[in-house]
Amino acid sequence: MMAKLNLPCWTEGHHKVLSPTGYVFSALEVVLGEDLGSWSQNPKAHYLLRRTGLFCEDVLRPDCQVSPNQVARLLDNLRKEDPTLSFAIAQRLLPGVLETSSNLLMHAPTLGHALEAICLLWWCHFPLLAPRIRRTDNACFIVLDDAYGVAQSNTDLYVFLAETVYSALMTFLNWSFQQALPWQASFSYNKPSWHRFYLGNTDIDVRYHQPITYLAISQKNMGVSRSMASASVFTMAERALEGKTKLDSLILLMKARMRTSLIEVPKLEAFADELGVSTATLKRKLKQHNTSYQMLWNQVRWEESYFLKRHHRLSDDEIAGQLSFYDVSNFRRFLRRWERSRSIG
């Protein structure tokens, strides 16, 4: 019998669960300046907030909460204004404005601890693309999950978001560990015309039009330490976060469960049963996030097959067995189909 999924509560793209004091403020400050009182008189503010359902007065309220969909529309407006704004926004995101999460990042004893903290608190800093760590014997990879499906049908927005996340990570970690860390970046999209901005990070090896998007660093660098970190502050921040509600999206929960059950992945009906909704309702919710059960499963299998083949050196026969393909021919057909119509996420 298949094990129960026991999935916790989840968030969806229209849920107003995010504070604007992080990502939204950082994005608006880049264009409107840091004088918050002047925002409502700036005609550009209304242009940037168009189609978000938000006004400056709303964003500045202490109790304001915004949805991932609203954040996505704002960032898409900024992208259309200037696609290189992603790099300027990235400079402002980490370590963040929340005291506990900021202390966790600033006092993480090693690079490995810092990356784990960033990925754990993804929704505080990057509420649309969630960074996730994958490890091999030789390297640590930070891959991205489209938490709410906002970039599934908008490649330009995906590029903007990926640039923001990875640039924020590299800039903050290079600064806080006081050295130019040897990053390698792989992007699934073609080289943009503003690619010179990518080279602003010393020692970064950038590759475009790759099978998947990731940021990588050698496993030996994960133990790099920082002399100014306080072990007691880091421990107190960890304890303060224990038992706190972790914000997870429906998409992230389903993909995480798929990754833990590659040989016997739960069917759509099993997911719906454990979530307490009908199969039709779950299908509708996924469609509202520009995805489907099959698209999520294909994304998981594509990523797994890439790492198993490229970094674990498994044969096609071995990979087919691990990813529950009927046979190796079926696996190879899947790879060809995916290459022809690869989606982002």
**Residue-wise pLDDT tens digits, 302-313:** 999 999 999 889
The answer to whether residues 70 and 120 belong to one domain is no
Kindly state the average pLDDT of the residues 280-307: 96
Report if residue 16 sits inside a domain: no
The answer to whether residues 167 and 103 belong to one domain is yes
The answer to whether residues 128 and 226 belong to one domain is yes
Kindly state the average pLDDT of the residues 58-87: 94
Structurally, how many domains does the chain consist of? 3
The answer to whether residues 303 and 177 belong to one domain is no
The answer to whether residues 114 and 54 belong to one domain is no
Tell which residue, 167, 132, 128, 134, has the closest CA to residue 148: 128
Say if residue 267's pLDDT is above 50. Answer: yes
Strands (E), the chain: 129-135, 139-146, 184-186, 205-207, 214-218
Count, in order, helices (H) and strands (E) of the chain: 16, 5
Rounded to whole angstroms, what are the CA distances from 58 to 38, 47, 193, 260, 319? 14, 15, 36, 41, 51
Q: What is the pLDDT of residue 263?
A: 87
Question: 334 pLDDT band (50/70/90 cuts)?
Answer: very high
Rounded to whole angstroms, what are the CA distances from 246 to 55, 102, 164, 286? 28, 16, 22, 21
Kindly state the average pLDDT of the residues 17-36: 90
The answer to whether residues 77 and 106 belong to one domain is no
In angstroms and rounded to an integer, the radius of gyration of the C-alpha atoms of the chain is: 20
Kindly state the average pLDDT of the residues 323-335: 91
Q: What is the pLDDT of residue 227?
A: 83
Separation CA 238–CA 103 (nearest Å):
9
**Residue-wise pLDDT tens digits, 211-241:** 999 999 999 999 999 888 999 999 999 999 8
Greatest alpha-carbon pair distance for the chain in Å reads: 63
Contacts of 8 (CB under 8 A, 6+ apart): 246, 248, 253
The answer to whether residues 276 and 186 belong to one domain is no
The answer to whether residues 106 and 179 belong to one domain is yes
Contacts of 325 (CB under 8 A, 6+ apart): 331, 334
Q: What is the pLDDT of residue 5?
A: 39
* Percent share of the chain, pLDDT over 90: 72
Separation CA 68–CA 78 (nearest Å):
15
* Percent share of the chain, pLDDT over 70: 94
Report if residue 185 sits inside a domain: yes
Report if residue 299 sits inside a domain: yes
Report if residue 14 sits inside a domain: no
Question: 200 pLDDT band (50/70/90 cuts)?
Answer: low
The answer to whether residues 134 and 264 belong to one domain is no
Burial class of residue 242, CB neighbours in 10 A (0-12, 13-18, 19+): exposed
Q: Given 241, 261, 285, which residue is the final one in a domain?
A: 241
Separation CA 63–CA 81 (nearest Å):
28
User: Is 263 within 8 Å of 322 (Cβ atoms)?
Assistant: yes
Question: 7 pLDDT band (50/70/90 cuts)?
Answer: very low
Question: 1 pLDDT band (50/70/90 cuts)?
Answer: very low
The answer to whether residues 304 and 330 belong to one domain is yes
Q: What is the pLDDT of residue 36?
A: 84
Q: Given 196, 224, 241, which residue is the final one in a domain?
A: 241
Report if residue 8 sits inside a domain: no
User: If you average pLDDT over every residue of the chain, what do you get?
Assistant: 90
Separation CA 164–CA 131 (nearest Å):
12
Say if residue 3's pLDDT is above 70. Answer: no
Tell which residue, 168, 150, 165, has the closest CA to residue 76: 150
Domain that holds residue 149: 99-241
- Stretch among 149-163, 234-248, 316-330 having the lowest mean pLDDT: 234-248
Report if residue 46 sits inside a domain: yes
* Lookup result for tokens 């499906």: 149
**Residue-wise pLDDT tens digits, 47-71:** 999 999 999 888 999 899 999 999 9
Q: For residue 56, what is the DSSP state?
A: H
Q: Hey, CA dihedral for 147, 149, 152, 158, is it positive or negative?
A: negative
Rounded to whole angstroms, what are the CA distances from 50 to 12, 13, 76, 81? 21, 18, 10, 12
Burial class of residue 332, CB neighbours in 10 A (0-12, 13-18, 19+): middle
**Residue-wise pLDDT tens digits, 90-138:** 999 999 888 899 999 999 999 999 999 999 999 889 999 999 999 999 9
Provide the whole-model pTM.
0.93
Question: 202 pLDDT band (50/70/90 cuts)?
Answer: low
Report if residue 176 sits inside a domain: yes
Rounded to whole angstroms, what are the CA distances from 48 to 53, 79, 289? 11, 10, 23
Report if residue 27 sits inside a domain: yes
The answer to whether residues 112 and 205 belong to one domain is yes
CATH number of domain containing 321: 1.10.10.60
Q: What is the pLDDT of residue 241?
A: 87
The answer to whether residues 237 and 282 belong to one domain is no
